[in-house]
């Protein structure tokens, strides 16, 4: 068996003006369905991380992001995929949120009130919680 290759994933940390963070559930039919995560998705061939995030958030949530600042990159080995997560902070978007894949959404502050949370998000949640001035 050869080495597994990474799936590149763009992840949006949507931050509301009051500092709340948007989490949504993984849709039925996907691995870890029902787990809470930051929204995003796979980076397709020829796309930048920002382009992929803009496309994914429009497809999943119905919003158009203004800009995304890549903040951190982490890697997580799930049973179904080896992923490289490009975490982007997003502070501006347009449109009304629509859960286009039947998922739930919740604005969260610390401590989180939703669970279970996708394992790959834990390091980022820890960093956000410890950030001076909170992100």
The continuous run of DSSP H or E covering 25 comes out as: strand 21-25
Domain CATH for 113: 3.90.79.10
pLDDT at 3 over 90: no
In a domain, 107, yes or no: yes
Q: Is the peptide bond before 34 cis (omega within 30 degrees of 0)?
A: no
Say if 2 falls within a structural domain.
Answer: no
Residue-wise pLDDT for 74-133, tens only, equals 999 999 999 999 999 999 999 999 999 999 999 999 999 999 999 999 999 999 999 877
- pTM recorded for the entire structure: 0.93
Tell me the pLDDT of the chain averaged across its residues.
94
Domain count, the chain: 1
Enclosing domain of residue 78: 7-128
Task: Tell me the pLDDT band of 134, cut-offs 50, 70 and 90.
Answer: low
Give the pLDDT confidence score for residue 69 in this predicted structure. 86
């Amino acid at each position: 068996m050869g080495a597994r290759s990474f799936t590149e994933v763009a992840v949006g940390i949507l931050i509301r003006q009051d500092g709340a963070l948007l989490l949504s559930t993984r849709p039925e039919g996907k691995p870890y369905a029902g787990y809470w995560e930051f929204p995003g998705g796979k980076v397709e061939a020829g796309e930048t991380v920002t382009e992929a995030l803009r496309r994914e958030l429009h497809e999943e949530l119905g919003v158009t992001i203004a800009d995304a600042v890549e903040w951190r990159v982490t890697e997580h080995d799930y049973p179904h995929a080896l992923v490289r997560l490009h975490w982007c902070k997003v502070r501006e978007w347009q449109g009304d949120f629509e859960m286009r894949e039947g998922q739930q959404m919740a604005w969260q502050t610390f401590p989180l009130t939703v669970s279970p949370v996708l394992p790959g998000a834990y390091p980022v949640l820890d960093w956000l919680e410890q950030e001076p001035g909170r992100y």
